[in-house]
Structure 1
Amino acid sequence: MPAPDEAALDFLLNRRSRPSKTLAAPVPDREQLGPILTAALRSPDHKKLEPWRLIVLERPALRRLAELATERGTALGRTPEEIEKQRAAYATGGLAVAVICAPVDNPAVPEVEQILSAGAVCTALLNAALAAGWGAQWLTGWACHDRVFQQDGLGLAPREFVAGVIHIGTETAAPPDRPRPDPATKIAWIRE
């Protein structure tokens, strides 16, 4: 019989993101962020391709991205509400980590597996931040999918894209938990 890690399982059964708009200073410093980033990089990775990288966005970078989101939203014809939502996600943040999917050519590992690995990095980063006692939320939004925003704002190469932006800070409010999936409707058992 395996020896369960009850604390880890309890954490996973009860974990919940904290809305980025409820996160404030202080944010983790480089020393505090180090183990969180290291934990994220321990994600499943077929053939050890490392088809992802992390960009830590500190306050000045987030402000610059807020301005770029406003410019790009206007150029793309986004509604004022859509522009403000994206602008605010960056303008109010104190620290975020962009997880960049950087697919690698390898005939043994389909690109979809590499994309899923980048998603696993997002999940691991989010959970590591929460486990370390910080509030955190995984966001994207239309700006993350805009090629100009990706290139000019984050310096992404042509095949790279944003898998997620994990906002991290001190939780100031805990909204009520949201409804969770009913396992009976999402789990199938196949015996034969």
Structure 2
Amino acid sequence: MSRSLSLLQQRHSVPSRQLGEPAPDEATLHALLEAAIRVPDHGKLVPFRLIRLQGDAKLRLGEQLATIAIRNNPELSEAKQEKERLRYTFAPLVLVVVARIDSQSKVPEIEQKLCAGNVAYNLLLGAYALGLGAQWLTGWAAYDNEVAAILGLAQHEHVIGFVHLGTPQLDVPDRDRPALADLLSTWTP
């Protein structure tokens, strides 16, 4: 069996809290990003972009999220406030994958979103292939208009996910996977 297929069969997410330094260096990150953007793109629209969160920016975003969360829910517990503040601080690098939807295109919106989703998934695959850990998360912030404004998103842009990248700090066991036999059928006329 090929090494590439073996990587696909073994890939799994590493929880963001288990990701630490080092982050990929600039050359490795550049190579990973170049690979990640090689996705099916009907119409060649490039309906995606990436936002890099690193260093102090991750904590600052978390502080702004905590402020929004408290305003939306004044009864939010201290523990949940702290969770919001620290949400992006565990992994040394977080990449925000953004879908850029062209509503005037003949390409359906779902295909444009799936294209951006493939970028996020390629980040996971590429990170695993490089010996890094990664986790694709969304959460309420991915769907919040105020967070979109903080991130500088335009009206036609949507967060697809926050991909946390770093070095696994411990071995994470794979989760149970569904049986292929339960998912595959053969259509017959």
How does the TM-score come out when normalised to structure 2? 0.92
Residue 70 of structure 2: aligned partner? 74
Q: How much is the aligned-residue C-alpha RMSD, in angstroms?
A: 1.6
Hey, what's the Cα distance between the residues in 1 that align with 2:160 and 2:174? 25
Q: Deviation string for 1:132-180 (max 9, x for gaps)?
A: 111111111112211111111x111112111011111111112322110
Residue 99 of structure 1: aligned partner? 97
Residue 65, structure 1, aligned to residue 68, structure 2: no
Query: % of aligned pairs identical?
Result: 40
Residue 166 of structure 2: aligned partner? 169
**11, 16, 33: which one pairs with 2:12?**
16
SS at match of 2:50: strand
Partner amino acid, structure 2, of 1:125? L
Any gaps of 5 or more consecutive residues in structure 1?
none
User: Contact 2:63–2:84 (CA<8 Å) still a contact in 1?
Assistant: no
Residue 84 of structure 2: aligned partner? 86
SS at match of 2:136: strand
SS at match of 1:129: helix
**152, 174, 189: which one pairs with 1:155?**
152
SS at match of 1:116: helix
Residue 34, structure 1, aligned to residue 11, structure 2: no
**118, 123, 127: which one pairs with 1:125?**
123
Residue 145 of structure 1: aligned partner? 143
SS at match of 1:34: helix
Hey, what's the Cα distance between the residues in 2 that align with 1:102 and 1:83? 30
Higher helix share: 1
Any gaps of 5 or more consecutive residues in structure 2?
none
Hey, what's the Cα distance between the residues in 1 that align with 2:23 and 2:99? 25
SS at match of 2:134: strand
TM-superposed CA distance for 1:82, in Å, is: 4.3
TM-superposed CA distance for 1:119, in Å, is: 0.8
Partner amino acid, structure 2, of 1:121? V
Q: Deviation string for 1:45-75 (max 9, x for gaps)?
A: 1011000001111112111111111111101
